[in-house]
Each structure stands twice: as C-alpha cells, then as structure tokens.
Amino acid sequence: MDNKDRLYAILSDVFQSGTLKKAVLSRPQDSTLLRAEGRTVLLKEVPHLQIETFTASGKALHRNFLFRRRLPRFFRNFPTTVS
C-alpha cells in the first residue's frame, strides 16, 4: 500500500466515524500556497471535506469536496507522508 492509499484509508476511517476535527496539509508543491486546513462538513446532509487554503498573497479560500473512493486531485499539490 503506498502513502496515498494509506492517507485515503486514514481519512476514510475518521470521516466515517466523525472524529476528524482538523487536518493540516503543509509544504505544498505549488509555491502560491502556504498551507491548507481541512475539516468535515455536512452540506445538504451529505458529508464533504472542506479545505481552506492559505495563499502567499494573504487570501484564504474554501473548497468543498465530496468524499469518494479516491483522494481529490487537490491533494496532488501536497507531498504525501503518512506515519
């Protein structure tokens, strides 16, 4: 199992159990981003992963991802290290 599969498995477990409070993603490969923070939210009673990105220009942007069988493409911006 590679790191992305392990990360998906961990996120899937905490997502389904409702125990994810906050996830912090750091060291993005995109130099315009500083970091991202994620949490679970219910939108129209459907669980989503809400990611807030912090840019080098000082902006904070929110994106909502439906949690499916794979990690959203967004995660490609961050190297995956799971321990």
Sequential pLDDT tens for the chain (83 residues): 677 677 777 877 877 787 878 888 787 778 888 988 888 888 888 778 888 999 999 999 998 888 665 556 666 666 655 44
- Written as six digits, the tokens of 4 are 């992305």
The span from the CA of 77 to the CA of 49, in Å, is 16
pLDDT at 58: 93
pLDDT at 83: 44
pLDDT at 57: 93
Q: Give the chain's end-to-end CA distance (angstroms, integer).
A: 13
Evaluate if pTM is beyond 0.75. no
Coil, strand or helix: which one is 41?
A: strand
The span from the CA of 10 to the CA of 82, in Å, is 9
The span from the CA of 74 to the CA of 19, in Å, is 22
